[in-house]
Amino acid sequence: MRTARNSRNARHPETLLGNIRQFLTPQVWRQARRANPWRRASPRWDLQPLVLVMMAMTWTAGDSQAERFEIARGFYATCYHARRRPGATVQGFQKALSRLPTRPLKALAAEARREIRNRYGSRLLVDGFEPMGCDGSRIECPRTPELERRLRRSGSANSPPTVWLTALVHLSTGLLWSWRLGPGTASESEHLKRLLPTLSSRALIVCDAAYMGYDLVQAIVQSQRSFLFRMSSRVHLHTRQREKLATWSEGPVWYWPKEVQDKNGPAIPCRLIRVPARKGAKRDVWLLTDVLAPTRLSIAAASRFYRWRWRNEGAFRTYKRTIGKLKLSSRVTRLVHREAELSLLATQILLAHADLALRPVGSETSGEPAISPRKVLIEIRKELQGWAARRSGCYGERLERCRADERRQRSPKATRDWPRRKVHKPPKPPKLHTLCREQNLILDNNLRAAS
């Protein structure tokens, strides 16, 4: 009869390298190499050592890149002692990394995401949907002449060069799913359109009011995914009959902006949901979705999904504060993109392997965090530095102690107003219009033509 420890060992790897290999399998490495047959200039730096050393540099702590490189290279040499050791200098590593094309890195991220989906399986589903939150954030870069010239400034003229990161996060687990990078002035909506192929047909994309736009909504509907967007007074919706927002609970509406009507564009059928303000909230929350059946997406489920949207902020906090990527360290454009891509992959694998280890198979995802990213990072750093006291057990056993604190948030998240921060104003309800007779005729003709 097997003990509980042996049963756990059969399910989850007991070493850091074994946990990484769950997602970066030999098949994943082969597919990444096939994406672009890259001929390395240095025989000491192949695709695998470049990626693993850069990921380890993301996790480890150190005052300089050279110090982090020494720890990461030592970890790789220990794990793959039978292979030829990579180069010994951080300058050679950076030169080899800058020559690496980005296509294999994107293919590597896509294949790792495929492995994550295979291992999670039905645990990604909540009420028949895969809730995916989308949000963006800026990452600062050093003020080098090349970065100031190549990366556009955002905000004031004195702002540093920045990279814009748009990320999709699985809301019930807080797992970083996919991402796209661009200059500091990039469009979040355009990034989201490019990220749609990374989602399954059961994805429900949850966004705040900043993402609303006809082109984006049409792209999501045509891709056969679903959306749940917060509304603001900038959005104009239409109904067949006169309705009052004061008595509105939920119902069908048409998203048909005037500029689309002038171009004879089709109206998009949607459902407008009103979530009453909770205790302490200032205003009701108005949500728009293309899921027309209340039995498929109820008001309670829509409210819960939108409340989980704050898990996007948690993922950004893990990446920028816990991992320490508030500011990238690379000083040239080619290294900035490769550092960002591989550090995001390292963050994704950190969250995924710990969540799989700590969340039992078959358990319901309640939207509460299962892991503490900070505790997981501490254990990874101990493993990278060769710290493994016998009394503390192996990495797999120490990972079980990295659970998040089980407590409910009762006090305000912000204790005081910070200087230079804009006062948040909740969005107002959308504008509701009644279709005139001519608009109804055009809409009926469009519906008959579509059927």
Q: Kindly state whether residue 115 falls inside one of the protein's structural domains.
A: no
Is residue 338 located within the same domain as residue 308? no
Residue 445: give the domain boundaries.
127-313+429-450
Is residue 89 located within the same domain as residue 167? no
Is residue 87 located within the same domain as residue 168? no
Is residue 383 located within the same domain as residue 260? no
Is residue 256 located within the same domain as residue 169? yes
User: In this structure, are residues 395 and 383 in contact, taking their beta carbons and an 8 Å threshold?
Assistant: yes
b/e burial code for range 256-270 (CB count within 10 A of at least 16 → b)? bbeebeeeeebbbeb
- Given a cut of 80, whether residue 193 has pLDDT beyond it is yes
Is residue 186 located within the same domain as residue 84? no
Task: Tokens for 353, please give them.
Answer: 């392997």
Given this model, what pLDDT does residue 165 score?
96
Is residue 369 located within the same domain as residue 439? no
Q: Kindly state whether residue 329 falls inside one of the protein's structural domains.
A: no
Mean pLDDT for 162-167 is 95
Mean pLDDT for 47-59 is 95
Given this model, what pLDDT does residue 365 score?
55
Q: Kindly state whether residue 8 falls inside one of the protein's structural domains.
A: no
State pLDDT tens for residues 399-412.
888 888 766 666 76
- Rg over alpha carbons for the chain, rounded to the nearest Å, is 24
Given this model, what pLDDT does residue 10 score?
45
pLDDT category of residue 3 using cuts at 50, 70 and 90: very low
Closest CA to 399 of 433, 344, 353, 365: 353
Is residue 153 located within the same domain as residue 99? no
Say how many domains are in the chain: 2
Is residue 376 located within the same domain as residue 436? no
> Where are the alpha helices (H) located in 290-385, listed in sequence order?
299-307, 311-317, 333-358, 373-384
pLDDT category of residue 280 using cuts at 50, 70 and 90: low
Is residue 271 located within the same domain as residue 137? yes
pLDDT category of residue 158 using cuts at 50, 70 and 90: confident
Q: Kindly state whether residue 412 falls inside one of the protein's structural domains.
A: no
Q: Kindly state whether residue 259 falls inside one of the protein's structural domains.
A: yes
Q: Kindly state whether residue 222 falls inside one of the protein's structural domains.
A: yes
Pairing of strands 203-207, 130-140: parallel
Locus of tokens 């661009």: 182
pLDDT category of residue 162 using cuts at 50, 70 and 90: very high
pTM for the full model? 0.91
Is residue 69 located within the same domain as residue 163? no
State pLDDT tens for residues 364-406.
555 566 789 999 999 999 999 875 444 466 888 888 888 887 6
Q: Kindly state whether residue 268 falls inside one of the protein's structural domains.
A: yes
Is residue 88 located within the same domain as residue 224? no
What's the mean per-residue pLDDT of the chain?
88
**H-helix or E-strand spanning residue 447:** helix 437-450
pLDDT category of residue 283 using cuts at 50, 70 and 90: confident
Q: Kindly state whether residue 404 falls inside one of the protein's structural domains.
A: no
Pairing of strands 130-140, 162-170: antiparallel
